[in-house]
Amino acid sequence: MSRLIVWRHGNTDWNANHRVQGQTDVPLNALGRQQAVDAAELLIKMKPDAIVSSDLHRASDTAAALAALSGLSISYDKRLRERYFGAWQGLTMPEVAELYPDQHTRWTSGQEVGGDVESLADLGKRVSEALHAAAGLAPPGGTVVVTTHGAAARQGIGHLLEWPLEQLRTLRALQNCHWVELTHSRERGWQVAAYNVGPFTDRPVPPPV
């Protein structure tokens, strides 16, 4: 049985301030760097065979903490980037609600936002394609760790599992530096083995954007 670990990056100042990051290349802050180290010390016990990461620095620098422990090199895949949020990027959600009320209403009700915000369908397709590609980097029965982003992780996993949007919305947002463990076998296909696993944190969960 093969294993795929889908790992959200560590905390950033924009996470802390509840700003929409999207594909803006915001770096990890001090807390995020420590979270990456703490998480890597747990993930190394899973004996990863390969590490794949989004090329945005908050993800790649998170992956680097595991690479340092494992000695593995990191492969980069732009398809693992966060959802593109267009004009929302850099805004807080109250600012989005004020400037783009119709889009915000669709967002809160789980509908496609429209405008220049990437659709959930497109996001799920590109991230799941990257997850499939990453899974192929390990030998049969091996483990691949994929470092990505909150919305990208959830939508990509949902597409991979062929879950309807209504089911996917029942999942809580991944906390910073937490992960989803997926397993794959010929008989059962992809299955969720664990969700929102990671180092202890007592901080509120930032939005997955």
Binding residues: 8-15, 58
Nearest of 52, 111, 118, 55 to residue 87 by alpha carbon: 118
Binding site for substrate: what residues are annotated?
8-15, 58
C-alpha–C-alpha distance, residues 106 and 86, integer Å: 15
Choose among 77, 41, 86: nearest CA to 59: 77
Residue 161, φ and ψ in degrees, nearest 5: -85, -5
Is 166 designated active site? no
**Given 18, 41, 57, 82, which residue is catalytic?**
82
Active site residue 9: yes
Q: Residue 102: how many CB atoms within 10 A of its CB?
A: 10
How far apart CA 48 and CA 146 sit, in angstroms, is 10
Active centre residues (catalytic)? 9, 82
